[in-house]
Amino acid sequence: MKVAILGNGQLGDMMRQAGQRIGIEVNLLDIDNDELPGDDVIITAEREHWPDNAFTSALQGHPGWLNRAAFAALTNRQKQKAVLDELDLPTAPWCIPEVGMTQADLHQQLGPDIFLKSASGGYDGRGQQRLRLSEPKRLPDWFEDAVAEQAIIYDTEVSIIGARNAQGKVVCYRLTENRHDHGVLTMSLSINASDRFSALQAKAKQMLNQVMEALDYIGVMTIEFFVVGEQLLINEIAPRVHNSGHWTQAGASISQFELHIRAVCSLPLPQPEQPGASMMINLLGTKYDQKWLDHSASQLHWYGKNWRPGRKMGHLNFYHQERQHLARWLADLDLPASYAPARAWALARLQMTE
């Protein structure tokens, strides 16, 4: 069995590595200049945005191209919100800005604090603008091809990652708690035997199930949520493996990358074991440094990409049966000063007595 992945970034590469381990050949397809693979190859994606070119249009007719309908429904934020409304799933109040609308009109509809997000192409907080009633500004020229949503005052952010196979079997990891700084994920925590999210886990799984079933989706899907009291509001859905699931490489018996390959290839899909506590730290705009290797417990994944400020260059995974060990490791870890707020956030959770 052969798998090809649209996109050749780090997510594709980690799926390639995971496939290789279990004896499945995975090749990455460059969106700009690749030839289509043979008809017997299963084709999946590591990204949900791609340019409309000869290659990506030919791909739509390939018999092995999975999730055509799901991509059409989810990759545009306006369409994704409409799907969520149709399924009666909770989101932040939102609207599509109309021609002639002013910032004041949007505030009247959605309140004093708003996120304006371009309908397509944004990631890691890009393609977004914050609108505050107290700070009138010129609306961007992509304003009418966007969604506007109320800024939610949330307790925390979590995500659920799960996979569905062609027979409709679904398995999920437990909720991951995520810390974003300036719209970019900095750290994720996934802690076993944590009572904090036990009431929310079933709700999140039910929502993921509902979306995957409605779209007849095959593979790994992620839903990001805002937690407000006992309520989960869906922030967004990613039809792919996700940065907040990188901890599964260290903390689960089957990583999200392997789970995706298993699901798309109709290989066995048991519920992954996830016995202890895991912590993932994104290396954002950091240069390669051997110090990441000079730690008995840190698992470095370096993506080998050209450096840019703030760019996701790699990540560190830590796993231990006891979360207090993660707290000790984190307290001593040499991280840039910009990680101070995220470190304090994680320490508070890892040291918490429930």
The smaller minimum CB distance to ligand ATP, of residues 154 and 302, is found at 154
Binding residues for ligand ATP, how many (CB under 6 A)? 18
Residue 305 site contact among Mg ion, ligand ATP, none (CB < 5 to 8 Å, cut-off depends on kind): none
- Binding pattern for the stretch 167-196 against ligand ATP, x by CB under 6 A and - elsewhere: -------------x--x-x-----------
The yes or no reply on residue 92 touching ligand ATP (CB under 6 A) is: yes
Residue 300 site contact among ligand ATP, Mg ion, none (CB < 5 to 8 Å, cut-off depends on kind): none
The smaller minimum CB distance to Mg ion, of residues 77 and 301, is found at 77
Kindly state the smallest distance separating residue 253's Cβ from ligand ATP, in Å. Answer: 26
**CA angle 284–286–292, rounded 5-degree value:** 105
The yes or no reply on residue 310 touching ligand ATP (CB under 6 A) is: no
> Per CB under 6 A, which of residues 235..294 are in contact with ligand ATP?
235-236
**Window of 35-43, 102-110, 119-127, 270-278 that interacts with ligand ATP by CB under 6 A:** 119-127
The yes or no reply on residue 149 touching ligand ATP (CB under 6 A) is: yes
- Binding pattern for the stretch 189-228 against Mg ion, x by CB under 5 A and - elsewhere: -----------------------------------x----
**Window of 20-28, 35-43, 115-123, 255-263 that interacts with ligand ATP by CB under 6 A:** 115-123
The yes or no reply on residue 49 touching ligand ATP (CB under 6 A) is: no
Interface positions with ligand ATP (CB under 6 A): 92, 115, 117, 122-126, 149, 151-152, 157, 180, 183, 185, 224, 235-236
